[in-house]
Structure 1
Amino acid sequence: MASTRSLHWSLAMKEIAATRTHRPAGLLAARGLIAATSAKRRPLVVGDTYDRAAIMAAACAAARNHQARYGGTWGEALSVTLKATWSLAKAARAAKAH
């Protein structure tokens, strides 16, 4: 005889929601700050290559602001701002390609 397994949909949906990646606090604010300040002073993409020094400089400047606003460690702040900076750089590179 085959064994039956009961499924509780509410528990299953909660587990699915828990496994999804959540946006870290301040990611959108960091992206806006970088787009408004650092990325305009020094472009993140030169030609068709990423300017890694400009990306790191923009992320470090935004990380100081992020850490002051949201607290947390330097590593957490730098992680959030690097994600935001790289997303802006990728968007800039895609915009230049078209």
Structure 2
Amino acid sequence: MAAIRQIDWTATMHAIAADRAKRPAGLLAARGLIAATSAKRRPLVIDGAYDKAAIMSAAIAAAKVHQARTGSTWGEALSVTLKATWALAKAARAATAH
């Protein structure tokens, strides 16, 4: 057995890049839709706490639009819009904290 170990850096970097999380299709559009509609009608953060009912209702409303636009399954659409809604809620909470 050799005392020196060789690493194929090209293959390693390709593997690292493949492991990174890919942005789901329609995530930015869903975030914009939620910010423009649902989040303005009912705030996602109240007194520094997440309003989970508001987050879920905003995600469901956006998922219906997302599913109609992309033709994705309900699970995929809800997953994308929940990620977008939680990102907006976290940003709103951080904005109110500072």
Q: 2:58 matched to 1:58?
A: yes
2:97 is matched with 97
TM-score by length of 2: 0.91
Q: 2:43 matched to 1:47?
A: no
In 2, the alpha carbon distance for the partners of 1:60 and 1:87 equals 15
In 2, the alpha carbon distance for the partners of 1:12 and 1:50 equals 40
Give the superposition deviation at 1:8. Answer: 2.5
User: Size of the alignment, in residue pairs?
Assistant: 98
Structure 2: runs of 5+ lacking an equivalent: none
2:30 is matched with 30
TM-score by length of 1: 0.91
Percent of aligned positions that are identical: 73
Structure 1: runs of 5+ lacking an equivalent: none
Give the superposition deviation at 1:3. Answer: 4.6
Give the superposition deviation at 1:70. Answer: 1.5
- Write the deviation string for residues 59-81 of structure 1: whole angstroms up to 9, x where unpaired: 00000111111122101110110
In 1, the alpha carbon distance for the partners of 2:95 and 2:9 equals 43
Q: 2:68 matched to 1:68?
A: yes
1:12 is matched with 12
